[in-house]
Amino acid sequence: MQTNFSLAQLADAATRESEAILRKCVHCGFCTATCPTYTILGDELDSPRGRIYQIKDMLEKGGPPPESTVKHIDRCLSCLSCMTTCPSGVHYMHLVDHARAHIEATHSRPPADRAARDLVARLLPNPRLFRLALLGAALGRPLRGLLPKRLSAMLALAPASVPPPSPSDRPGVHPAEGPRRKRVALLIGCAQRVLAPQINEATIRLLTRHGVEVVVSKGADCCGALTHHMGKEDLAHASAKATIDSWTREIEGEGLDAIVVNASGCGTSVKDYGFLFREDPAYAAKAARVAGLARDVTELMDEIGLAAPVVATGQAIAYHSACSMQHGQRIKEPPRALLRAAGFVVREIPDAHLCCGSAGTYNLLQPELAGELRARKVAAIESTRPDAVAAGNLGCITQIAAGARGGARGGAGGGAGGGTGLPVVHTVELLDWATGGPRPEALAGRAAFEGTAESAAG
């Protein structure tokens, strides 16, 4: 693609990078067929190629973009399906990240839109505030029908009750069982530890059982992914820097063999830290070192090898590969191979390349499109007739579970009924259970998983 940036514009590192990306695009349009928003809306402006043109135009002109450009960029899920499809190696992720930061810096959003985005950006990465907000959401649930669409969607996704904080998430060291094979740091995350503390607990049990010492490092809380994808660079960089500093102390102290991430959306961001801080002399080297150590928990377990299952597995599991897992990190086989090694039958979901609509904060900020994508995903999952669904990213787990329990066809959490109540769990919860941990609570009372809890305790 031809570009027309001035020399002054190209003095800016981000613009230089985007220009190089834009020049790789040959307008072939292969990416449109695999783009979820184009699949639903059928509008070229909501396709990757259409968005690339709009970003080029916006960056070349500089200054505030037209409303329509903001609308079409906001509708992008950052699912990166287009990157998997593109034969020319266009790095759409870095391009759209730059576009979002440009919009955030130059565009004045309507007050309600700004307020919703600020609320999400402040609440979700702060576990204390997020917990309080969820408790408040439980009280506000009866008023859902009276609220604006976005607030209603937020309430629909909020759980009916909030689990207490897990002691596992406190800074400290979880020693390996038996001889120590590896020493790793675990990203305990922000929203995940509030909504689903059992995921970190299962991860720690699974790793320590396999001879891995797990460090929960003080200050390594939020990776900055949520705010980064909203274009809020200052907030994102502050979170990422605190996390990098914390892990750097561990690396330079007792040392780390890996940094384990059990939310693939966060993993994609941590693996990109080297790029994010490439122009920052104080952080470039530290960030690249941290990025080089980052591993999804299934990558690490695949390397270590899973112990033989100790419970009667064999249930059919529909494995949902999060976009950040399959497109962002290009991890495909390890989670499936581990589930099979644990004795489960892995069912492939049709149109697995399409996003479930979670996409970080997308289901909160674009509830209608997210609801449509969720309905399609839940129908595709149900067509495989599984006993449960497994995924490696909390956003997808929350999104699919909300659809499976009856909100799939109403958009914005819908509540139209008809859901199967299919349990949705994190992959590590199944691996932990199969190798000696407790049965995931979501599986309790499910016929296919009954009669196996006793042997799990042994």
User: Using CA atoms, how far apart are residues 363 and 267, in angstroms rounded to an integer?
Assistant: 20
Can residue 230 be called a binding residue for ligand SF4 (CB under 6 A)? no
Q: What is the DSSP string of 189-222?
A: -SHHHHH-HHHHHHHHHHHHHTTEEEEE-TT---
Candidates 81-89, 129-137, 143-151, 407-415 — which segment interacts with ligand SF4 by CB under 6 A?
A: 81-89
Residue selected from 45, 49, 56, 431 as contacting ligand SF4 according to rule CB under 6 A: 49
| Closer of 92 and 273 to ligand SF4 (Cβ) | 92
Query: Total binding residues for ligand SF4 by CB under 6 A?
Result: 26
Residues near 203 by beta carbon (within 8 Å), at least 6 away in sequence:
186, 214, 260, 262, 297, 428, 432
Q: What angle do CA 159, 351, 330 make, to 5 degrees?
A: 80
Residue selected from 55, 58, 70, 79 as contacting ligand SF4 according to rule CB under 6 A: 79
User: Using CA atoms, how far apart are residues 405 and 419, in angstroms rounded to an integer?
Assistant: 5
| Closer of 205 and 327 to ligand SF4 (Cβ) | 327
Residue selected from 19, 21, 45, 48 as contacting ligand SF4 according to rule CB under 6 A: 48
Shortest CB 24 distance to ligand SF4, Å? 7
> What 8-state DSSP symbol labels residue 147?
S
Q: 76: which 2 tokens?
A: 């992008």
Handedness of CA 70, 71, 74, 79 (dihedral sign): negative
Can residue 395 be called a binding residue for ligand SF4 (CB under 6 A)? no
Residue selected from 58, 82, 157, 389 as contacting ligand SF4 according to rule CB under 6 A: 82
**Binding track over 244-273 against ligand SF4, x by CB under 6 A:** ------------------------------
Closest to 144 in 3D by CA, of 159, 155, 130: 155
Q: Which of residues 4-43 bind ligand SF4 (CB under 6 A)?
A: 25-31, 35-37
Say if residues 200 and 427 touch (Cβ distance below 8 Å): no
Residue 70's alpha-carbon distances to 55, 103, 355, 358, 362, in angstroms, are 10, 7, 21, 20, 14
Can residue 342 be called a binding residue for ligand SF4 (CB under 6 A)? no
Q: How far apart are the first and last CA of the chain?
A: 62
Q: 90: which 2 tokens?
A: 């266009």
Can residue 362 be called a binding residue for ligand SF4 (CB under 6 A)? no
Can residue 393 be called a binding residue for ligand SF4 (CB under 6 A)? no
Can residue 370 be called a binding residue for ligand SF4 (CB under 6 A)? no
| Closer of 35 and 185 to ligand SF4 (Cβ) | 35
Shortest CB 457 distance to ligand SF4, Å? 44
Shortest CB 393 distance to ligand SF4, Å? 15
Shortest CB 250 distance to ligand SF4, Å? 33
Can residue 76 be called a binding residue for ligand SF4 (CB under 6 A)? yes
Residue selected from 22, 58, 90, 207 as contacting ligand SF4 according to rule CB under 6 A: 90
Say if residues 267 and 224 touch (Cβ distance below 8 Å): no
| Closer of 86 and 412 to ligand SF4 (Cβ) | 86
Candidates 45-53, 199-207, 334-342, 372-380 — which segment interacts with ligand SF4 by CB under 6 A?
A: 45-53
Can residue 326 be called a binding residue for ligand SF4 (CB under 6 A)? no
Can residue 226 be called a binding residue for ligand SF4 (CB under 6 A)? no
Shortest CB 157 distance to ligand SF4, Å? 20
Residue selected from 54, 69, 78, 126 as contacting ligand SF4 according to rule CB under 6 A: 78
User: Using CA atoms, how far apart are residues 415 and 47, in angstroms rounded to an integer?
Assistant: 29
Closest to 217 in 3D by CA, of 186, 256, 181, 196: 186
Helix (H) or strand (E) holding 318: strand 316-320
Can residue 356 be called a binding residue for ligand SF4 (CB under 6 A)? no
Neighbours of 444 (CB within 10 A): 11
| Closer of 295 and 377 to ligand SF4 (Cβ) | 377
Residues near 450 by beta carbon (within 8 Å), at least 6 away in sequence:
none
Which residues of the shown chain bind ligand SF4 in the complex (CB under 6 A)? 25-31, 35-37, 48-49, 51-52, 76-82, 85-86, 88, 90, 92
